[in-house]
Amino acid sequence: MNDNALHTVEARIRQQAAAFCESGNVPGFVAGVHHAGEQTVVAHGTANVATGAPMREDTGFLLGSVTKVLTTTLVLRQVDRGLLDLDTPVVTYLPEFALTVPGAADKILVRHLISHTNGIDADLFFPHDKGRDALKSYVNGLASSCGSLFEPGEQLSYSNGGMIVAGRLLEVVTGTPFHDLLAREIYAPVGMKDSSTSAEQAILRSTAIGHFPDPETMAAKPTGMFMLPDTWGPAGSTPIGTIADLLAFGRTHLAGGVSPSGTRVLSAASTALMQQVSHDMQTPNVPPMGLGWVRYPFGDTAVLAMSGASPGGVSILCVVPEHDLVFTAYGNTPGAIMLQDQILQWLLSEHLGVQIPTLVTAAGQDVDLTPYAGTYRSDQLRIDVSIVDGQLEERTTYEPADASQERIFTEFAGGTTSAPPQRYVPIRPGLFAPAGYPPESFDGYLRLLLVSYHDIRDGQARFRNGGGRLARRA
């Protein structure tokens, strides 16, 4: 990439960030692109409205679920060493791993944990423990609190629980606490020199905090909770890094597992395995899954991606192997995901010349809605689906397990855990789009807003998938 092309990318991101942040009440945004040996980082706005601290190019932020790709990389490092085998049951290494459904945990293989095909129904299970035994406590709590959504390998459902179990598995087979392992085996060899895993470390340098829109004024107000509990570390609650750090990590996966400094972090075979399709639900709202990476198809181009929600913020990391490009960004309100999607699509279509096809065309005609109506459940969530005026109407209810988990989830969600009913229009049998959105809305990252239904038996769908997460018919 020549300097002129890099300058164009930088100017475009700067322009898009300024316009979006002003119109969307996003206090601050920071993004970076590495392409063909050149790199740029752009920062805009404010990192913390309570202090007025500026968002700088080297400002740190919570990685959120981008951490899942780091956790998966750690698992594959142990596979390279012979400490783990992907096709061995987790209980072989972690005998205490159990779920409320007898025998369900015994069938889960190591690969199911990192391919989101494990079926662990624990997406909102938030035990509040700190310190070195946090992951041990989480795994112990699963046995009495969380069941199974499906048989391992049968379906795909985005799994925080699977990644947290993988983190505990790493602790057991290496004898090293997860945070120490992350620092030693990812941060150091990759060159993520400004990354950390605690608020105590983050406060020593420039670090952004999240914000939520005030319900009355819509102005951004600071989050009341910086990070989720330590129990969610491997899924993304605690790691903090910078744009430069994530670009270095993305470049390591571009280069077959070799970091920018020349250190081999992962074998070429394991790096390639992470990028290959491990499960495909054959529906546009659930992109094919690799190991750790989600494989977003933009026409014939695969974008390896993971986004990461934190309290009042959202990060993203995208790697485009066939074009030697890494894009990463963070915005400090949840709505910044829209800006990240805009920039990604511009980079693909305008900068790289990728043809982005339309995923969703006109609404489907004469689709029988009766197989989809009913009640679906997953961990602490209930979704009631009814037929209204030729559309599906969904009502989602949060049903907290206890007061502690309710407090954590409420703070994570910015105080709002209930939503008004949402109408969906049929696209084709089994696939629905939220009413009122233009079809082109779903061509990029926001295809996750589509809802699909799966495994119809006796005229009824067994599963609903929204945002990559399954709920099972009650």
Give per-residue pLDDT as tens, 217-228: 888 999 999 999
Closest CA to 58 of 259, 192, 252, 211: 192
The C-alpha atoms of residue 451 and residue 39 are separated, in whole angstroms, by 37
Give Cα separations from 13 to 36, 54, 90, 119, 341 (angstroms): 18, 17, 44, 39, 12
Pairwise pLDDT comparison (25 vs 461), residue with the higher score: 461
Q: How far is CA 398 from CA 331, 409, 419, 471, in A?
A: 26, 10, 10, 13
- pLDDT confidence of residue 364: 76
- Which range among 323-337, 407-421, 438-452 has the greatest average pLDDT? 323-337
Contact present, 291 and 111 (Cβ < 8 Å)? yes
d(CA 64, CA 67): 6
Give yes or no: 65 in active site: yes
CA distances from 378 to 139, 232, 396 (A): 18, 18, 11
In this prediction, residues 327-347 reach a mean pLDDT of 97
| Residue 31, beta-bridge partner list | 42, 329
pLDDT at 207 over 90: yes
pLDDT for the residue 1: 58
Of 23, 65, 144, 259, which one is the catalytic site residue?
65
Strands (DSSP E) along 415-457, which ranges? 422-428, 431-434, 451-457
Q: In the numeric block, which tokens belong to residue 333?
A: 């309100």
Res 361 pLDDT > 90: no
Q: How many CB atoms lie within 10 A of CB 369?
A: 17
pTM exceeds 0.75 = yes
Interval 372-390: pLDDT, tens: 999 999 999 999 999 999 9
Res. 210: pLDDT tops 70: yes
d(CA 106, CA 384): 32
Give the integer Cα–Cα distance in Å for 342 and 31.
12
Query: In this structure, are strands 391-398 and 422-428 parallel, antiparallel, or unpaired?
Result: antiparallel
Mean of pLDDT values over 306-317: 97
Instruction: Enumerate the CATH 3.40.710.10 domain ranges in the chain, comma separated.
Output: 1-357
Q: pLDDT tens digits for 100-147?
A: 999 999 999 999 999 999 999 999 999 999 999 999 999 999 999 999
Give the model's pLDDT for residue 439: 85
* Ranges 184-198, 269-283, 306-320, 349-363: which has the least confidence: 349-363
**What digits encode the pLDDT tens for the residues 28-66?**
999 999 999 999 999 999 999 999 999 999 999 999 999
CA gap 241, 60 in Å, rounded: 5
pLDDT at residue 290 tops 90? yes
pLDDT band at 363 (very low <50, low <70, confident <90, very high): confident
Q: Residue 246: its pLDDT value, please? A: 98
pLDDT surpasses 90 at 315 = yes
Confidence of residue 2 (pLDDT cuts 50, 70, 90): low
- Yes or no: is domain 1-357 CATH 3.40.710.10? yes
Q: Quote the CA–CA distance of 156 and 282 in Å, as a whole number.
A: 11
| HEC secondary structure over 107-175 | HCEHHHHHCCCCCEECCCCCCCCCCCCHHHHHHHHHHHHCEECCCCCCCCCCCHHHHHHHHHHHHHHHC
Q: Do the beta carbons of residue 421 and residue 410 sit within 8 Å? A: no
Judged by DSSP in three states, 15 sits in helix
